Amino acid sequence: MPYSSRGFCIVNVSSFAGHVLPKVLVPRHVFKKVEISPKAMSDKLKSYVHHFPKKQRSNIAYPVSKTFVIWYSKHIAAELGTREAHIVSVSPGSFSTPMGEKESDNGAAALTQLGAIKRFGRPEEIASVLAYLAEKSPVYLTATDIAVDGGDSGLMTKKDMANMAK
């Protein structure tokens, strides 16, 4: 980011999925390879996912990719913090959009029942968080993931995670 001015902002969008896998199933050690060769990292992650039964691969690959977004945001925040950059990731839960509603039958509706709010989020709720983060004012808010999921990730138990993986 040599051409960015002081105090710039990067907001990476992850997903609630970045919080659902047990830590033991996420090969975080592979993420560091992105600095040397993004392709080598990608190849290693593909190889890792192929160790799972074919039916479960997408249920592993997507959350691993979203966990990477969270990890990478924190990783680059340390490097760019001296330039007063604020780098965060945002992990939306289930939202009432055409795409979100398509996922309703695939577990998204049941997922909302695990959280505090017990409903799909409204588009303006995530939009207001993203707009706030894009302003220059929250420089001190950096190297973190902001879950905008109605409390789903904060209240989900290990048992809930295991049930989702089935």
**Which positions are catalytic?**
62
Residue 153 CB-density burial (10 A; 0-12 exposed, 13-18 middle, 19+ buried): buried
Q: In 10 A of CB 58, how many CB atoms?
A: 11
Integer-rounded Cα Rg, in Å, for the chain is: 17
Q: Kindly list the strands in the beta sheet with 144-148, ordered across the sheet, starting from the edge strand earlier in the chain.
A: 9-13, 86-92, 144-148
DSSP letter at 22? -
Phi and psi torsions of 49, nearest 5°: -65, -35
Query: Sign of torsion, CA 70 161 117 121?
Result: positive
